[in-house]
Amino acid sequence: MEQDWPQLPTYSKGYLKREKMLREKTLVDVKKRVKQTERMIKPAVENATAASSTAKQAEESADAVAK
């Protein structure tokens, strides 16, 4: 009975270099998009926080008037 050894793929240095460059380029692009998204979301979070604070103040005022 013969054992089959796994065939490992062999890659050229050029392929590995291109793969590394592509991976780095992709990582830079992803980081850029994350920063853009954070900049877009930050004002929305601030608005939501302000709205929540305003609603809380309104509720407290309504409770005070109701007493």
How many Å apart are CA 32 and CA 23, to the nearest integer?
14
| Angle, vertex CA 36, rays to CA 33 and CA 38, nearest 5 | 110
pLDDT, one tens digit for every residue, the chain (67 residues): 677 777 777 889 899 999 999 999 999 999 999 999 999 999 999 999 999 999 999 999 998 998 7
The predicted pLDDT at position 46 comes to 94
The predicted pLDDT at position 7 comes to 73
Number of H helices, E strands in the chain: 1, 0
Structure tokens at 7: 């065939």
| pTM of the full structure | 0.56
The predicted pLDDT at position 11 comes to 84
Sequence ranges of the domains in the chain:
14-52
The predicted pLDDT at position 25 comes to 97
6 DSSP assignment: P
